[in-house]
Structure 1
Amino acid sequence: MLKIIIALGLILLAIGGGVAYQKTQTEPMVLATSYVFEQQRALAPFTLADQYGNAFDNQSLQGKWSLFFIGYTACPDVCPTTLNKLAAAYPQLQKIAKNIQVVFVSADPKRDTQAKRLDYINFFNQDFIAVTAQHADLFPFSRDLGFVYAMVGDGSDYQVDHSASYVLVSPRVEKIAVFKPKPQPGQLAQILNAELIADFEQIVKSWQ
């Protein structure tokens, strides 16, 4: 009888431990600046070109965490501010996931030539990637990520209105989360680096 009682006790202990473990694993993340998609959908096939003229496609994302941001090199405020912030956050993001890559998507292929994108992105961080394509390919790709952009103005001095969020793609090439800027009174809406890093760490740990 004593053996039966001990056996039952061990079984109950194992069940209890399993329930506790499951609760730990399924606890919702507390995210400060991001939203994780319930349905993580694979990106549609695409082909862009990076700052070295090499093809950048779905295969370029395999096995890597990819953080995307859209803009253009003539952007007067949002883009340089964002890339400066991402350059500052990059070492911490790498500590969380060594295989992270930051990808700047130019929504201005007419003016943002390969040479201009190379000079521009190298100013912020030589590890970053700067890609673009003609609008016929760029528009469906950006829309697939959830970005929007539009040319504003006439002549050669037009500006480009564009999203200011970041989109995170998993090593399985699935769109997993979006980081959204918060309004700042009298300032540009920004994604705070501390919140970006904290959210990124939670997302990566949860995904693994």
Structure 2
Amino acid sequence: MMKRPFIIVAAVLLMTLGVLAASQWRQHQSPPDLKTSYLFPEARAMAPFELQDQHGSSFNNDSLKGKWSLIFIGFTSCPDICPTTMGKLAAAYADLNKEAPLQVVFISVDPERDTQDKLASYIEFFNPEFVAATAPHSELFPLTRQLGMIYAMVGEGEDYTVDHSASMVLLNPKGEKVAVVKPRSEGKSLPQIRLQEMVADVQAIQSL
């Protein structure tokens, strides 16, 4: 009569040891050889945020759950960095989804000019499966800060521009920040995201 409780206790003990062993393995495995990204030592949770996407729907923390997310900030009137980066993301989208489902999220930091219709037209040009979202600056400032990005309005009147970070942030399916994809410059050229290096880094991180 004493065998059944003993078997249950033994099974629970084995499961616990298995979980601990897996945790220790993850902590001690060698980090991937990343070319253009920085992998955080530990995943970082995101504070609550609320945006509106190109369809007029809410985009918030729950929208990050269940898939990987690659976030980039900018504005639709950007003359160089934004269209170049969005074009690269569109070209790499199939490869970025090979290891696991991934969504590309473009956050506009120019909410005065980037209306819902404008965001919809802009993202449709690159890939209709991408997400384009924005919010008032009161929501954007804390969100970009926690993503490790910055932006600033430059100039006055209707012809103002926006200076902004050119990096991207990778989030895991739990909606946690896990890495930053950084642009690199060669010689006197402007820093740019290197397409093949970005894809290789994201796939390496996803496979951990």
Answer yes or no: same fold by TM over 0.5. yes
Q: Which of 78, 83, 93 in structure 2 is aligned with 1:80?
A: 83
Determine if the alignment matches structure 1 residue 59 to structure 2 residue 70.
Answer: no
Equivalent residue letter for 2:142:
P
Helix, strand or coil for the counterpart of 1:138?
A: helix
Equivalent residue letter for 2:87:
N
Query: In structure 1, how many angstroms separate the alpha carbons of the residues matched to 2:127 and 2:165?
Result: 21
In structure 1, the residue matched to 2:10 is none
- Kept in 2, the 8 Å contact 1:78–1:188? The answer is no
Query: In structure 2, how many angstroms separate the alpha carbons of the residues matched to 1:93 and 1:40?
Result: 20
Query: In structure 1, how many angstroms separate the alpha carbons of the residues matched to 2:124 and 2:87?
Result: 11
Matches within 5 A, 1:107-126: 107-126=109-128
Query: In structure 2, how many angstroms separate the alpha carbons of the residues matched to 1:115 and 1:187?
Result: 34
Moved over 6 A (4+): none
Query: In structure 2, how many angstroms separate the alpha carbons of the residues matched to 1:38 and 1:28?
Result: 9
- Kept in 2, the 8 Å contact 1:75–1:159? The answer is yes
Deviations 1:147-194 (A, max 9, x none): 100000010100000000010011111100000000133433111111
**Shift in Å at residue 83 of structure 1?**
0.2
Residues matched between the structures, number:
186
Query: In structure 1, how many angstroms separate the alpha carbons of the residues matched to 2:127 and 2:160?
Result: 27
- Kept in 2, the 8 Å contact 1:66–1:100? The answer is yes
Indicate the RMSD between aligned Cα atoms, in angstroms. 1.7
Query: In structure 1, how many angstroms separate the alpha carbons of the residues matched to 2:187 and 2:116?
Result: 36
In structure 2, the residue matched to 1:9 is none
Q: Which of 192, 195, 206 in structure 2 is aligned with 1:204?
A: 206
Moved more, 178-187 or 49-58: 178-187
Query: In structure 2, how many angstroms separate the alpha carbons of the residues matched to 1:189 and 1:121?
Result: 23
- Kept in 2, the 8 Å contact 1:167–1:179? The answer is yes
In structure 1, the residue matched to 2:7 is none
Equivalent residue letter for 2:189:
Q
**Shift in Å at residue 201 of structure 1?**
1.0
> Please, which runs of 5 or more residues in structure 1 have no aligned partner?
1-17
In structure 2, the residue matched to 1:91 is 94
Query: In structure 2, how many angstroms separate the alpha carbons of the residues matched to 1:185 and 1:117?
Result: 34
> Please, which runs of 5 or more residues in structure 2 have no aligned partner?
1-20
Query: In structure 2, how many angstroms separate the alpha carbons of the residues matched to 1:191 and 1:169?
Result: 17
Q: Which of 165, 174, 178 in structure 1 is aligned with 2:176?
A: 174
Matches within 5 A, 1:31-50: 31-50=34-53
Determine if the alignment matches structure 1 residue 69 to structure 2 residue 72.
Answer: yes
Determine if the alignment matches structure 1 residue 28 to structure 2 residue 34.
Answer: no
Query: In structure 2, how many angstroms separate the alpha carbons of the residues matched to 1:203 and 1:134?
Result: 32
**Shift in Å at residue 28 of structure 1?**
2.2
TM-score by length of 2: 0.86
